[in-house]
Structure 1
């Protein structure tokens, strides 16, 4: 079904798969504009009503996505259509969705701030005193601190997922893979993007603070 709305005759699809593809393409362009998905880095996904997951195809530039660049996988990460190649990190998206039935979108980016700070951090980056912390659920004041877990990078994604699993219930911000990038999620794509932008702002502030101190 297609609805036409307003004098601009804008086409809006009620097909949830089409909506998910459009959301993923728009998110990829926004993330690219901020420099968070260089080259073919990063991945973006949405949960579909039937339990499948729409996710970016492996090897594509997220700022230049087309509908062909979005594929469908099962809740376990297997491609629905023969020949489709999902990102190697699809399992990490599946893990987030499995942990919370509310989650509707997952974003993974490779910003300079998240990459550099994670290389300097221990097992977490603590963010404190920032007004923008209020973008995260349960926070209503700047006078607080939140812990962003940092996990060591591992090319064995199944093993990495097992390391992350015990921490999933208690990660209000998301998490960072050391020297790699950040994962955030939300009830829908709008919330996930707001959280990503909030977190990236906070990480950029932390990086600037360290430059000033040196």
Structure 2
């Protein structure tokens, strides 16, 4: 049986005669599912923001010469075969292979492009839901962490440089020993307070 159509659905039987002239009959129920005139490969598409999608709308030969479009329910904006536009924050191109497949390509998608769309061939429509999700990167957070770490070490490094300078003065001028000791004590207190503040911040 070849080139079966929906009207071929039904019961069939097969009969065979054996050596004892007995007829053996077997019944079969054959169901032919009709192919929809218009369908989509995927009716629910999810993509990251900035990404691209490519989907196919399939149509039967009956609609080969019909007008083919990709439309958005929200604003009824449609794209026709051979036309390119960016009015919806995305480059949209649709192409027809003439053999029953309509390809829709959307690139540079944004969250505002999320919503319901539909393939249109002649008077037929098939809905497609598009979900564009925001992409969360670690770059910003890493920069913030590095900046916070830098701020945390700036004061201790500055105090350390002062200590080195003061030590150099001590070696050159022994008469300033008592004054330098007083400075050391205050610098040590400042370092302790700085470390305590950073601990509380964490």
User: What's the TM-score, normalizing by structure 2?
Assistant: 0.22
Structure number with the higher strand fraction is 2
TM-score, normalised relative to structure 1: 0.21
